[in-house]
Amino acid sequence: MRFVKRGRNNRLNMAQAWYRQASFVPALLVVMAVLIITFGGTIRIYDAGESCPDWPGCFGTWHFMVSEAEQAAYWDENPDQIDSRGADHRYTIFEIFLEWVHRLLVGIIAIPMLWNMYSTQKNKNLWGREIRNASWIAGFFLVIQAIAGAVTVIYDNSDWSVALHLSLALTFTGFLVWQCMLHLKREGYPSFQFSTSSEFIDSEKKRIFSLTLAVFVLLILGTWVASTAGGEYNKGCSIGMPDGWPQCQGELLPSFEHTGILVQMLHRVGAAIVGMILVLGTMKLKEKSMQFSAPKIYGKCFDFATGFWLLNIFVGGLYIVLADADGFPELLSLAHLIIGVSSFFSALMAVMFIRLSSSAGGESDE
């Protein structure tokens, strides 16, 4: 690993409070974005995605304390907005609260996001265009993600809309992480002051990107599986052990005459294949790192990505095994999402480190 000499604008100012550093705002936005993703997952496991039938309001109000009588009155006045559960279904205050807070967080994050975009534009000549571009792209995808949230409500949590919603959330969060890393490099933090040989980058760039893309695709596929047919495809392979997992309908190679079985097996086989290529790809990446004397950070990123992925396969199996006639252990479903997202961002960090090693890191445009 070769450390990069810090220039005039890359001095680590140890006297400056951490909350006054330029990296603080994007770091705060990343934390808020993770909260939004977590609340989104919680909404799904409690099946509360339709608990506010209109947008941006909720049952024609701006609060979450909507009684069953008020819900009935709203359906009578707005029969065209009756969701997939029918006019007789009533949501609990807690379910409405989850959706309400999720929307509130998206609204709150817009304030520091706008400040982030303004400050990067104002300091473009000092921080660099790359930092400015990252903040503006993140802001753009936040707006698109909010629109996708409205589409999700309009289409009653259709599987494709839920998958799109998560995809956009991961995208804008990724750009915020990238902006934060650029700031940290500019501020002179030692962990971000390194370079990587062009030989290693030419050899491994496609591998790192392909592995990260594979994790992303399977993560979104899992969201689609969990949302399709109101989550009924989770039962496609039955429940319990061994009939539901590791087998499917009591067989290792079941008949694919039912769509639920096909979808479940597609997800399982895909997860196993991605797990295998992560293990093999990480081993190869470490071998190339030693060959070209590259920083160990790339291998560490994929150690975490692979570890999270293999753990998630176990959690997914446990979700099926522990299910019973009363339903699934939905907290495991939330854990399944969070671990999958952790695997993706671990892999994405390697992509960013490749880019960071050849980036100006926010050097002045002057």
Separation between Cα atoms, residue 222 and residue 275, nearest integer Å: 14
Single-letter code of the amino acid located at 193: Q
Structure tokens at 305: 């990505």
**Residue 76: how many CB atoms within 10 A of its CB?**
10
210, containing H or E segment:
helix 198-227
Structure tokens at 256: 């694919």
Distances (CA, A) of 340 to 62, 137, 166, 175: 33, 24, 12, 18
pLDDT at 219: 92
Task: Provide the residue ranges of all domains of the chain, joining segments of one domain with +.
Answer: 21-193, 196-366
Distances (CA, A) of 261 to 25, 243, 250, 337: 45, 13, 12, 21
pLDDT at 342: 96
Those residues with Cβ within 8 angstroms of residue 113's Cβ, 6 or more apart along the chain or in another chain: 29, 138, 139, 142
pLDDT at 257: 78
Separation between Cα atoms, residue 312 and residue 222, nearest integer Å: 11
| Residue 191 DSSP one-character state | G
List the beta bridge partners of residue 195. 2
Task: Give the pTM.
Answer: 0.86
Those residues with Cβ within 8 angstroms of residue 135's Cβ, 6 or more apart along the chain or in another chain: 26, 116, 117, 120, 175, 176, 179
19 burial type by CB count under 10 A (0-12 exposed, 13-18 middle, 19+ buried): exposed
Contact in structure between 357 and 196 (CB atoms under 8 Å): yes
Terminal CA-CA length for the chain: 29
In the chain, alpha helices (H): 24-45, 68-77, 93-122, 124-127, 129-154, 159-186, 198-227, 259-291, 297-321, 330-357
Contact in structure between 233 and 260 (CB atoms under 8 Å): yes
Separation between Cα atoms, residue 33 and residue 25, nearest integer Å: 12
Separation between Cα atoms, residue 145 and residue 296, nearest integer Å: 35
pLDDT at 6: 45
Distances (CA, A) of 344 to 123, 347, 349: 31, 5, 9
User: Tens of pLDDT along the chain (366 residues)?
Assistant: 444 444 444 444 545 676 778 889 999 999 999 999 998 888 877 878 788 888 888 999 999 999 999 999 998 998 888 877 788 889 999 999 999 999 899 889 999 999 999 999 999 998 999 999 999 999 999 999 888 887 887 777 777 888 888 999 999 999 999 999 999 888 887 777 778 888 999 999 999 999 999 999 999 988 888 777 666 777 788 888 988 888 898 888 888 878 888 888 889 999 999 999 999 999 999 999 999 999 999 999 999 999 999 999 999 999 999 988 778 888 898 999 999 999 999 999 999 999 988 655 444 444
pLDDT at 336: 93
pLDDT at 362: 45
- What count of Cα atoms within 13 Å lies in the side-chain half-sphere of residue 200? 27
List the beta bridge partners of residue 251. 248
pLDDT at 285: 95
